[in-house]
Amino acid sequence: MTMSVKSPVPRRRVLAGLAAAPALLAGMSPRGAAAQAGGTVNFVGWSAAVDQVKAQISAFERATNLRVNYENFPWAQYRTALVTRLVGNAPIDVAWISDAWLPEFAEAGWLAEINDVPQLMRYNAEAAEYCTQSMIYGGKQYGLAYYGDHMSFMYNTEILQRAGISTPPTTWDEVVQQSLRIKQQGISEFPLLLSLAADTWLIEFVSALTFAFGGRFTDEQGNAVMADANRGAVRAARFMREAIHTHKIVSAGAVETPEINGLRAMGGGSHAFGIVPTYRIRALNDPSQASAAGKIRIALMPKGGPDGTNATCGWIRFYGMTPGAKQDRARRERAVKFVEFFGGRDTSGEYSMQRLLLTDVGLPTCAMPLAQDPVVQQFWQRWAGGGEVIAQQATLAKKKDVISPWFGEWVETSNQAWQSVCLGRAEPEAAMRTAAAKWTELKRAFR
Amino acid sequence: MSTTLDRRPGGSGRRWRLGLGYDERSAAILVFPVVAVLLVVAAYPILYSFWVSLHDIVLTRPLRRPFVGFDNYLRIFDDERFWLAVGRTTFYTVVTVAVTTILAVLVALLLNEAFPGQRILAALLLVPWATPSVVNGLMWKWIYDPTYGLLNALLVQLGLLERYRAWLGDPDLTLLLIANAAIWKQMPLAALLLIVTMKAIPDDLYRAAKVDGANVFQRFVHVTLPALRPGLMLVLVYETMISIRHFDLFLIMTQGGPGDASFTLSWLIYVETFRSLRFGTGAAMSYVLAMATFLLSWAVIRWLGKRL
């Protein structure tokens, strides 16, 4: 015989209460409340210039009476976070996009073209050609620039002066000679700084070096030529290996030096030369952030080898609108206003966000009219000793020729190949052959 | 036909159909939410990920996800990165598990003795174990740092090293250095598990062994070690399962580098799934890793069960 004790609270009432709980919780959530509000722009970016973005959002909300839901993720996880949200049809209206992801995002149907939005397209007339081209894929333009930058060759004037060097190097051979001189005098153990950790910056560093050596990764048809000894990336790879293992002017620890640590080392005055994103010049010459402040200057990217050029690698980040936002008339109107306010002129006709990003963070702008702005000119004078070299280098910046729908997959193999060369574990030719084979495999699989 | 339930305690109601009384039905209803949650958060993802592993899913190509059967599994075994990762993972797991277990036995033997400060030492032992994995990874990354690392400073000051070096940048040392960080964190728990087992060994056995003339080493081999079998089995299985799937230290300390020096299976799965966004092959690799972990654990239990 089984004993049974009845609960004083009826079972049905308990179950009914449990069933109602999720509905109550949903009603209490902030998302639930936000969903009820109208006139909202959902904007996603990575965790950079957060204060400046928030300030501009406040200005946008005041000027338009619209609300902005702003989410940001660390750069290292941003692409994955954004892709998963896009796959899950999250209600994103505008997002920051890297030029490196444009083909795969456009192919996936996650970005809306803006060719039929004259309100935004008119800014092309005032944008640097390179920036506009970097936002075009398959003949369609997909946004307005957040900022455009390039890799710069920077040098420490004090170290050069102490070594008795009057002018910065103009070729990579001179970089080696001057570095050896600095090293022999005991001024710096590793005069040349290369940040070669396998992070998202590595392809920009090696592209800058490859372009300076007159090489390419792919030809005009998008076929891999990186392993070609005469026109590929092999010369640049060989230079890096010799700089680390033969001349010992670059630390073997470069393979575990991410860009941010390289910046700190350059700012600490440990290195005479370095390849650094241009926008870092502000931090490097800021006494509150760098002990070498005031001593860092920019020269044109040195030429490498017989076919060398002063070319460097440029990149752009831009405001992209999602198809979901474009298809809905009200959302489209709000998103276009947002993109214009941030990537173009604000309601008072100023490039306020572009100027703010430059003066506060150092991010170079794509808006050409700002070059004549006295505030901008003062900025470059104060932090870089003038903007002439930077402007000249910007005209020599090249878009990464590996940007493709399969870039995200290929770059993993490429990073490993470059690191293997730097570790002395692979011949430059063999490493570039590995990268080329992966490129060809992915290109073939994409068809 | 009537559907009225008999509400009397032990009443028949639908018992003739369901075979359940009021108590059983109440229990089933109360347990149902937990079962439902488990089905949603555990069973469904496991089954769904298997389904994913049978498709060629690349997130950046959302409009095509063909069913490919076991092609993803076959592709993995053709991928030289996979075999490279298997080799790295095996080496890392063997080193980590072996050193952790040996150190844990030694520490357990020490702390099983009564001496002044024994309790403080036992408490301090738990500090690494209580340290979050991310903090542990960052701490060791700083210790190994080529410019301001404690290890470099110590060795240079002791005259054992001429100049600072990039420890994690040396592909021959990378896995060992990561294993060291893992051992530092995992050894305390292993030692704790073994101490608990040691406390259960009757003193009579040691006294009898002494009477028989057994020395310290013989008492360890013939009394302690056999009695430690359940604890050792637990430690070996647990440490193997943890080490083979280790990911956090690799993410924080080396990101699979330098080159491919720390390219383990977990890292390969991460790269395939979250960087290349190939969810199909990523899921297939995860299943292979799960099966390998299961088989290895089963083998350890079988082997240890027979040997000890």
Contact predicate A251/A445, CB 8 Å: no
Q: Which residues of chain B lie closer than 8 angstroms to A4, CB-CB? A: 9-10, 21-23
Q: Do domains A38-148+315-381 and A150-314+401-446 have the same CATH topology?
A: yes
Instruction: Kindly list the distances between the CA atom of residue B278 and the CA atoms of A381, B61, B87, B245, B283, in Å, as whole numbers in the listed order.
Output: 47, 10, 22, 19, 9
Contacts across the A-B interface (CB distance below 8 Å): 99
Residues of B in contact with A423 (CB under 8 A): 169, 171, 258-259, 261
- Position A176 scores a pLDDT of 98
The pLDDT value given to residue B193: 93
**Residue from the list A6, A84, A416 with its beta carbon closest to the beta carbon of B259:** A416
Q: What's the CA gap between A109 and A132, in Å, rounded?
A: 20
Beta bridge partners of A218: A224
Q: For position B18, what pLDDT does the model report?
A: 61
Contact between chains at A4 and B10 (C-beta distance less than 8 A): yes
Q: Are residues B252 and B153 in the same domain?
A: yes
Q: Is B136 a member of any domain? A: yes
What pLDDT does B21 receive?
Answer: 84
- Calculated CA dihedral for residues A254, A257, A263, A268, nearest 10 degrees: -70
Tokens of B11: 């009443």
- pLDDT tens-digit map of B122-180: 889 889 999 999 999 999 999 999 888 999 999 999 999 988 888 998 999 999 999 99
Supply the pLDDT for residue A230.
Answer: 87
Chain A nearest CA to B59, separation (Å): 7
Q: Which positions ≥6 away from A211 have C-beta within 8 Å?
A: A301, A309, A311, A312, A313, A398
Q: Which of A2, A255, A408 is the closest to B276 by Cβ?
A: A408
Q: What is the DSSP letter of B3?
A: -
Check if the beta carbon of residue A148 is closer than 8 Å to that of residue A128: yes
Task: From B248, B99, B104, B121, select the one nearest B189 (Cα to Cα).
Answer: B104
Alpha-carbon distance of A411 to A198, in angstroms, equals 10
d(CA A132, CA A157): 35
Question: Using CA atoms, how far apart are residues A413 and A426, in angstroms rounded to an integer?
Answer: 13
In a domain, B204, yes or no: yes
List A274's β-bridge partners, or say none. A154, A193
Does the CB of A87 have a partner CB in chain B at under 8 Å?
A: yes
Residues B259, A87: C-beta atoms closer than 8 Å: no
Architecture of domain A150-314+401-446 in this structure: 3-Layer(aba) Sandwich (3.40)
Whose CA is closest to B97, among B244, B305, B256, B271? B244
Would you list the DSSP string of B239-295? HHHHHHT--HHHHHHTTT-STTTT--HHHHHHIIIIIS-BHHHHHHHHHHHHHHHHH
Q: CATH number, domain at B230?
A: 1.10.3720.10
How far B258 CA sits from the closest chain A CA (Å)?
6
Let me know if residue B170 belongs to a domain. Answer: yes
Residues B111, B191: one domain? yes
Could you tell me if B121 and B250 lie in one domain? yes
Q: Tokens 């056999």 map to which residue? A: B226
| Residue B202 CB partners (closer than 8 Å, separation 6+) | none
CB A41 within 8 A of CB A311: no
Percent of chain B with pLDDT over 70: 93
Nearest Cα residue to A384 out of A237, A255, A250, A284: A284
Helix (H) or strand (E) holding A375: helix A374-384
In the structure encoding, which two tokens stand for residue B50, read together?
A: 């298997």
Q: What is the largest CA-CA distance in chain B?
A: 93
**Is the separation of the CB atoms in A188 and A272 below 8 Å?**
yes
Please, what sign has the CA dihedral across residues A160, A161, A167, A173?
negative
For A196-233, the DSSP string reads --SSTTHHHHHHHHHHHTT--SB-TTS-B-TT-TTTSS
Q: What is the DSSP letter of A347?
A: T
B9 inside domain: no
Helices (H), A225-275: 234-241, 259-267
Nearest to B60 among A3, A408, A423 (CB): A408
If phi over 0 gives left and psi between -120 and 50 gives alpha, with beta otherwise, what is residue A250? beta
User: Per the CB < 8 Å rule, is A419 touching B259?
Assistant: yes
Total domain count for chain B? 2
Tell me which of A6, A250, A255, A322 to substitute to probe the interface with B (most B C-beta atoms closer than 10 Å).
Answer: A255
**Any idea how long chain A is?**
447
A373 within 8 A of A355, measured Cβ to Cβ:
yes
Residue A110 has a pLDDT of 95
Query: Å from B94 to nearest chain A CA?
Result: 25
Are both B156 and B197 inside the same structural domain? yes
Interchain proximity A253–B165, CB inside 8 Å? yes
B299 domain residue, yes or no: yes
Measured between CA atoms, the residue of chain A closest to residue B257 is A198
Q: Looking at residue B113, what is its pLDDT?
A: 86
How much is the pLDDT for B2? 42
Domain boundaries, chain A: 38-148+315-381, 150-314+401-446
Instruction: pLDDT band for B308, please (50, 70, 90 cuts).
Output: low
Cβ neighbours of B203 (radius 10 Å):
7
pLDDT digits (tens, 9 = 90+) for B26-83: 888 999 999 999 999 999 999 999 999 999 998 888 888 899 999 999 999 998 889 9
**A441 at interface of B, judged by CB pairs closer than 8 A:** no
Asked if the C-beta of A3 comes within 8 angstroms of chain B's C-beta atoms, the answer is yes
Whole-number Cα distances in Å, B208 to A194, B168, B204, B228: 68, 51, 6, 18
CB B234 within 8 A of CB B104: no
**Residues B229 and B266 occupy one common structural domain:** yes
Mean pLDDT, chain B, rounded, equals 89
pLDDT-derived band at B300 (thresholds 50, 70, 90) equals confident
Q: Is residue B62 part of a domain?
A: no
Domain range holding B37? Answer: 15-53
Select A38-148+315-381's CATH number: 3.40.50.2300, 3.40.1260.10, 1.10.10.410, 3.40.190.10.
3.40.190.10
Spell out which residues of chain B touch residue A255, defining contact as CB-CB under 8 Å.
166, 169, 257-259
Residues 6+ apart with CB under 8 A from A314: A130, A134, A148, A149, A150, A151, A394, A397, A398, A399
- CA pair distance B188, B190, nearest whole angstrom: 5
Do B180 and B130 lie in one domain? The reply is yes
φ/ψ of A414, rounded to 5, equals -60, -45
Taking the C-alpha atoms of residue B230 and residue B18, their distance in angstroms, rounded to an integer, is: 42
Residue with tokens 């001429």: B162
Say yes or no: B104 and B180 in one domain: yes
Task: Calculate how close chain A gets to B158, using CA atoms only, in Å.
Answer: 22
Same domain, B291 and B233: yes
Show pLDDT as tens, one digit a residue, over chain A (447 residues).
334 444 444 544 544 444 444 444 444 444 444 444 459 999 999 999 999 999 999 999 999 999 999 999 999 889 999 999 999 889 999 999 999 999 999 999 999 999 999 999 999 999 988 899 999 999 999 999 999 999 999 999 999 999 999 999 999 999 999 999 999 999 999 999 999 998 889 999 999 999 999 999 999 999 999 999 988 899 999 999 999 999 999 998 899 899 999 999 999 999 999 999 999 999 999 999 999 999 999 999 999 989 899 999 999 999 999 999 999 999 999 999 999 999 999 999 999 999 999 999 999 999 999 988 999 999 999 999 998 999 999 989 999 999 999 998 899 999 999 999 999 999 999 999 999 999 999 999 887
Interchain contact, A4 vs B22, CB within 8 Å: yes
Looking at residue B267, what is its pLDDT? 95
> How close is the nearest chain A Cα to the Cα of B85, in Å?
14
Q: Does residue A251 belong to the interface with chain B, where contact is any CB pair within 8 Å?
A: yes
Q: Are residues B47 and B163 in the same domain?
A: no
Q: Are A253 and B146 spatial neighbours (Cβ–Cβ below 8 Å)?
A: yes
Q: Which of B252, B237, B279, B284 has its CA nearest to residue B82?
A: B284
Backbone phi, psi, residue A299, to 5°: -120, 165
Please judge whether B169 and A255 are an interchain contact, meaning their C-beta atoms are less than 8 angstroms apart: yes
Q: Are residues B172 and B255 in the same domain?
A: yes
Question: Looking at the partner chain, which of A108, A198, A251 has a beta carbon nearest the beta carbon of B255?
Answer: A198
- In this structure, is residue B58 part of a structural domain? no
Residues 6+ positions from A364 with CB-CB distance below 8 Å: A147, A148, A149, A150, A278, A279, A358, A390, A394
In the structure encoding, which two tokens stand for residue A433, read together?
């052959």
Half-sphere exposure of residue B156: CA atoms within 13 angstroms, side-chain side:
12
Q: Which residues, in sequence order, are bridge partners of residue B278?
A: B58
CA separation for the pair A230, A216 (Å, rounded): 10
